[in-house]
Structure 1
Amino acid sequence: MGILNVTPDSFSDGGLFTNTDSALCQAEQMCIDGAQVIDIGGESTRPGASPVSISEELDRVIPIIEKIHQTLDVVISIDSCKAEVMTSAAKAGAGLINDVMALQAEGALKAAQETGLPVCLMHMQGEPRVMQQNPQYADVVHEVKDFLMRRVEQCLQQGFTKNQLIIDPGFGFGKTLAHNIKLFKALEQFTTLEVPVLVGASRKSMIGQITGKETAQRLSGSLALATLAVTKGAAIIRVHDVAETVDAIKVALALSE
């Protein structure tokens, strides 16, 4: 899954792909590099990020979804927690909903189900503006897994089928480095929920904290995490650096079979 943030303030690529032409070029390159999904986000969810109105988010993402849908043979994912954005994105050509709030926002569960699209349900403690201020857990692995299990069950009750659901432990979303490490070490436990597991930690602060590197210098750390994730059962890796990650994963899978 290649990341395409069409925002001015995302932590790694904010402001780089805010117009349709640059976004399409980036999507084309990620497809060439091996991306099977392009994840388009119109609202930053980095720690401390400011919320974006529905109309502004729609203005950012819909023209780009339409253009990519018309031009490229790739699954388009809409990274949003808003019901209206999910509905409009599905009509524009999105084939997947990626929701950091796991369909808990008002109207999101019903709207997502009505689109008929698969959905990725992510765990987040708190909300982006304050989630990293003081995250606390008694048992982070148990609490995150229990939350995701309950969200899967609620989606099934709403009318989703199991093959429409993906889960994401939410590395860096309301979690300290220690929490992230514990979650990653226990990643195999999440595969027992019998839905695909997505891992999104590309260039994130957990890699910076481990390596001491700034955002732009976190490729090597991101590749190490990605290769370990697939050997621990992750089915989808959400990344900024598609070509390098595809190569690393090919080697990791070939040598772990």
Structure 2
Amino acid sequence: MSGEKLSPEIISPVRRIGRREFDFERQVAIMAIVNRTPNSFHDQGRTFELDTAVAAATKAVDEGADWVDIGGFAFSAAQAQIGVAEEIDRVVPVIARVRAATDAVISVDTHRPDVAAAAVEAGADVINDTNGLREPGMAEVAAGTGACVVVTHSLGGPGRRVFRPSYADVVSEVADFLRERVSAALKAGIAPDRIVIDPGHDLNKNTFHSLELTRRLEEITAIGYPTLVALSNKDFIGETLDRPQGERKEGTIAANVVSILKGARILRVHDVAATVASVRMTEAVLGWRGPVAPSHNLA
């Protein structure tokens, strides 16, 4: 198994994102979640205060995160709408302070062009858009900044309610959507080596949809761009295991490891230290890295 290449063939697998370089043929990047929202589904506002959000980001980097994803507007439709100015006020101060403290990759979780532009100006390297660059002007703004983009599948986008989402074949429909949105990104002038894709587990999908996406993830990674999966503590894990929010770590780790084996190369997570250990072990078993402290005693 040592040195063996796993599919997929990735477009520009060696990439510089912000101040860090990744080889996605042999490396998995760990993205830490920092939500400056009062209603995020997992942390329920624990990192809403500015100082707390900054501390959470720097702690995640200390624990081994390669990347910090900072958001100011939750995906859920069960929230009060906020304006662009308020979203900017939530994310930009966090980005600026984290940028001053670390060389880790910083992304902004937003679907709004003005927020994306302000975030990149403050120091963000990546625009993580759960609306798939569908907001008018978003692809053009992303192209103009030169930032990397994460193109994510969802039916309705952030803050929009979708009742009983249904698919004839969730994997093929998600793959078709991602191919179409990547094409739009390329036409807008975003370079191929600046594009990441995300199938959007649990975003307008039920538990069966998210399990099927994980089971057949190689059909998504075969599109060719580095694939991000955001599985951490999501409801499909809770419903599968009958576990509440605070008891989904093991299920998350298992689903993430399966995703790596099927080609995922970026994991968006809450529990950084546990994820780092599980990912480093997975990379070692695959022959992508050696043991950190091998014993030389052969007796």
Task: Report the TM-score, using the length of structure 2 for normalisation.
Answer: 0.83
CA offsets, 1:108-127, max 9 Å, x none? 11111111001000000124
Shift of 1:46: 2.8
Partner of 1:227: 257
**1:145 match: secondary structure:** helix
Answer whether contact 2:67 2:107 (CA < 8 A) is retained.
Answer: yes
Q: Deviations over 1:31-60 (max 9, x none)?
A: 011111100000011353333210110111
Asked if the contact 2:139/2:190 (under 8 Å) is kept, the reply is: no
Amino acid at match of 2:34: L
Alignment match, 1:237? 267
Q: Hey, what's the Cα distance between the residues in 1 that align with 2:273 and 2:236? A: 22
> Which residue matches 1:88?
118
Q: Distance in 2 between matches of 1:254 and 1:190?
A: 24
1:115 partner amino acid: T
Structure 1 position 30 matched with structure 2 position 57: no
Report the 3-state secondary structure (helix = DSSP H, G, I; strand = E; otherwise coil) of the residue aligned with 1:249: helix
2:40 matched residue in structure 1: 10
Deviation at 1:130, TM superposition (A): 5.2
What is residue 69 of structure 2 aligned with on the other side?
Answer: 39
Residues 134-169 of structure 1: CA deviation (Å, up to 9, x unaligned)? 101111111100000011111111111111000000
The corresponding residue for 2:128 is 98
Is it true that 1:78 corresponds to 2:108 in the alignment?
Answer: yes
1:47 and 1:216 mapped to 2: Cα distance?
22
RMSD over aligned CA atoms reads: 1.3
Q: Which runs of 4+ in 1 moved over 6 A?
A: none
The aligned counterpart of 1:150 is 180
- The count of corresponding residues between Structure 1 and Structure 2 is 257
Structure 2: which 5+ residue stretches go unaligned?
1-30, 288-299
**2:229 aligned with 1:199, yes or no?**
yes
Is the 1:166–1:196 Cα contact (8 Å) retained in structure 2? yes
State how far apart, in whole Å, the 2-side matches of 1:20 and 1:30 are: 16
Aligned counterparts of 1:130 and 1:66: Cα–Cα separation in 2: 29
Higher mean C-alpha displacement, 243-252 vs 1-10: 243-252
Higher helix share: 1
Q: Structure 1, residues 53-92: CA drift from partner, whole Å, max 9, x if none?
A: 1011011111111111111221110000000000000000
Q: Equivalent of 1:124, from 154, 158, 176?
A: 154
| CA distance in structure 2 between the aligned counterparts of 1:232 and 1:33, rounded to whole angstroms | 25
Q: Does 1:184 align with 2:185?
A: no
Asked whether 1:68 is paired with 2:89, we answer: no
Say if 1:6 and 1:14, in contact at 8 Å, map to a contact too. no
Question: Hey, what's the Cα distance between the residues in 2 that align with 1:128 and 1:117?
Answer: 21
Q: Would you say the 8 A contact 1:9–1:15 is kept in 2?
A: yes
1:171 aligns with 201
Tell me by how many angstroms 1:256 deviates: 3.2
Amino acid at match of 2:196: I
Between the aligned partners of 1:17 and 1:242, the Cα distance in structure 2 is 15
Quote the offset at 1:131 in angstroms: 4.4
Equivalent pairs: percent with the same residue?
37
CA distance in 2, matches of 1:128, 1:70: 29
Q: Deviations over 1:191-243 (max 9, x none)?
A: 22111000001000000001111111111111111111111110100000011
Q: Which structure is larger by alpha-carbon Rg, 1 or 2?
A: 2
Determine the structure 1 residue equivalent to 2:143: 113
- Flag structure 1 segments of 5+ consecutive residues without an equivalent: none
Work out whether residues 70 and 108 of structure 2, in 8 Å CA contact, stay in contact via their aligned partners in 1. yes
TM-score by length of 1: 0.96
